[in-house]
Amino acid sequence: MVFTYLVRTFEKLGWRFARQSASHIILVKEGEMVTLSVPDHHEVAKGTLRGLIRTAGLTVEEFIANV
């Protein structure tokens, strides 16, 4: 998935940009203890994407419904 679409989808789901650390964007969500570290690559690998979705506490279907 393309990086910009990935970040926009997480923003729709309530995640917000916190900071950038080297080649990764850090996203946070109020009320969540975890942060998402999204690699700032043109294409994010499918395994990395699945891990981010899982870390966010979502299912793949929930994520796809918000794309």
Strand order of the β-sheet with 24-28 is 16-21, 24-28, 36-39
Q: What's the topology of domain 3-65?
A: Metal Transport, Frataxin; Chain A (3.30.920)
Question: What pLDDT is attached to residue 38?
Answer: 96
For 28-35, which contacts have Cβ atoms below 8 Å and span 24 or more sequence positions?
Answer: 29/56, 32/57
The pTM (predicted TM-score) of the whole model is 0.91
- The 10s digit of each residue's pLDDT in 15-60 is 999 999 899 999 999 999 999 999 999 999 999 999 999 999 999 9
